Amino acid sequence: MTKALFIFISLFVSLLSFGQTTVIGFAPEFIGKEANIYLVDDFITNKRKQVGTGIVEAKDSSFHISFENKEINKAVVEIGNIVGYLYVDQGKTYEVIFRPVSKDPKRLTENVIVLSFLNLPEDDINYKILAFDMWVDDFLFKHYYKSHVNAGSVKSDSLTDERARTDFFSELDTFKIYVDDYYRDEQNVFFLNYIKYSVAQLDNLHHKKMTNNEGIKRFETYLKDVPIHYNNEKFMNYFKFFFSEYFSTLPHSNEEDIIRAIHKQSPRELWKALAFDYRLTNPQHKELVMILALGESYYSMPYEQNDIIIIMDSLTQISRVPQNKIICQNILNEITSLMPGYPAPVIALNDGGKEPKAWINYEGYHIYVSFFETWCTECIKEMRIIKSMSEKYEGAVKFVSICTDSDPENFAKFRKNHPEFDWDFYHVSGNKNEVLSKFKVKDLPAYFLLDQDGFIVQAPAQSPVPDGEYETIEKTFDEIIKALKYRNE
């Protein structure tokens, strides 16, 4: 091999690895389990996108996951229903210890733990953020929660009078001076913005509305002529807070123009209706404020929900800012999720076969979906009722039970011990949190009813046991049978 060719290959390999981020985790309690890493897709809805997966190896209880990463992002490490957070930078390698607080996580969905870092250098973004956050926490404890420690607990609000507020903001001004001085030579732009908008949030304590003179001052300080930092959680939280309940804070005459624009289902008319607001001279800001305000107003009078959906759907197509498109689509998915008449969330149904199934596999049937875990005694009791229903409504309704138990062996034992439950069963483990999040499942058992085309009919659906009005899902099933008979006559 010639020297020139060797140099070329070395350069090519280095270019391939450029932008690769690696997370090495040690999780001795999870040997053999799947570890997943996500990056936060947007900090408005906190939706995530999966970027890597790996298995916790038995030899040293470690997992190694590498993924493409072009800038500093907040990442989520997930094993089962336990998650930990860290910041990941381009081309860096992170070593973390992933250890649950207890053997019995309290929540069905996500149980958050604090990751411990190994060999973390002082110039790493995680080191800097952890140190700064500790400084902020210490400041808040001394000057915001002071003198309110009772029986080992801290009250959440000590600024109960004007004197207390004056004292706090005087201390905050001093804190700002110390922060500016300490970080005067800092070069990391992401971290500088993290600091700036952390302090901005402290400035906002006890300032709920941003339409008065104080709001103008804060806009001039923190948002005027500033680009949107989509990957910085502190900036996005501040932006969202600053423009929260936007439509309801406007003068009455402007609010009427907005109502008319929304009624016309026109993004262009809404854009024109907001021309009066000097804070929205930046088109990027203006569009994002429109999106946030539309999402917030979805459940508010006097706006028609369908009008808002149509405008937001248009914005997902015509927006010139890619990240605004993503945020708009995520909000749109969120507000229409599980609404009757909208498609059911897409999930892969794994039954051990070669190919996962989807709702399309049940086309032509209504689908009664239940979520359960093997430890849930109430779930198993209600399955005995579902057994009789599956026989009674065969031909019109398909019954699908989805187990979200973290241990697939528990699911296998359950199926072996209950051969009488002979309808369709599926198991999810690696993407458990994602599935539960899509269906907004908080407690078990949980039920949903889909129509013949996979669209939502009831979410949540009635259960097999009588409710407060002594009705069960059978009443709906009987109506389905009547409708089918009428259609076939």
What Å distances lie between residue 54 and 27, 78, 132, CA to CA? 12, 11, 32
Q: What pLDDT digit, counting tens, does each position of 292-337 carry?
A: 999 999 988 788 989 999 999 999 999 999 999 999 999 998 888 8
Contact 80, 408 (CB under 8 A): no
C-alpha–C-alpha distance, residues 291 and 286, integer Å: 9
* Residue 201: per-residue pLDDT: 92
137 and 39 assigned to the same domain = no
pLDDT at 1 over 90: no
Residue 426: give its domain's CATH number: 3.40.30.10
Mean pLDDT of 268-278: 95
The H or E element spanning position 62 is strand 62-68
Q: pLDDT confidence of 103, banded at 50, 70, 90?
A: low
C-alpha–C-alpha distance, residues 225 and 280, integer Å: 10
Q: pLDDT confidence of 147, banded at 50, 70, 90?
A: very low
Has residue 286 been placed in a domain?
A: yes
* Residue 34: per-residue pLDDT: 92
* Residue 104: per-residue pLDDT: 59
134-169 in b/e form (b: 16+ CB < 10 A) is ebbeebbeebbebeeeeeeeeeeebbeeeebeeebb
190 and 272 assigned to the same domain = no
Tell me which residue of 284, 250, 287 sits closest to 270, measured CA to CA. 287
Q: What pLDDT digit, counting tens, does each position of 23-39 carry?
A: 999 999 999 999 999 99
Q: What pLDDT digit, counting tens, does each position of 331-361 carry?
A: 998 888 888 888 898 888 887 766 788 999 9
Mean pLDDT of 366-372: 95
Q: What percent of the chain lies above the pLDDT cut of 70?
A: 88
372 and 308 assigned to the same domain = no
Has residue 198 been placed in a domain?
A: yes
237 and 321 assigned to the same domain = no
* pLDDT, the chain, mean: 87
* Residue 488: per-residue pLDDT: 65
Predicted structure pTM score:
0.80
Mean pLDDT of 223-252: 93
Distant-in-sequence, close-in-space partners of 66: CB < 8 Å, separation ≥ 6? 20, 21, 22, 23, 52
Contact 35, 63 (CB under 8 A): yes
Has residue 351 been placed in a domain?
A: no
Residue 91: give its domain's CATH number: 2.60.40.1120
Mean pLDDT of 247-272: 92
Give the three-state DSSP class for 325.
helix
C-alpha–C-alpha distance, residues 78 and 433, integer Å: 9
Angle ∠(210,212,217) on CA atoms, nearest 5: 75
Check the CA dihedral 335-237-294-285 and report its sign: negative
Establish whether the linkage from the previous residue to 28 is cis, with ω within 30° of 0. no
Structural domain including 146 reads 127-242
Percent helix, strand and coil across the chain, each to the nearest 5: 45, 20, 40
Least confident of 63-72, 76-85, 212-221: 212-221
Count how many domains the chain has: 4
177 and 235 assigned to the same domain = yes
Give the three-state DSSP class for 454.
coil
C-alpha–C-alpha distance, residues 111 and 133, integer Å: 21
pLDDT at 12 over 60: no
Q: Which of 242, 266, 298 is the last residue of a domain?
A: 242
Q: pLDDT confidence of 74, banded at 50, 70, 90?
A: very high
* Residue 312: per-residue pLDDT: 96
178 and 140 assigned to the same domain = yes
Mean pLDDT of 251-262: 90
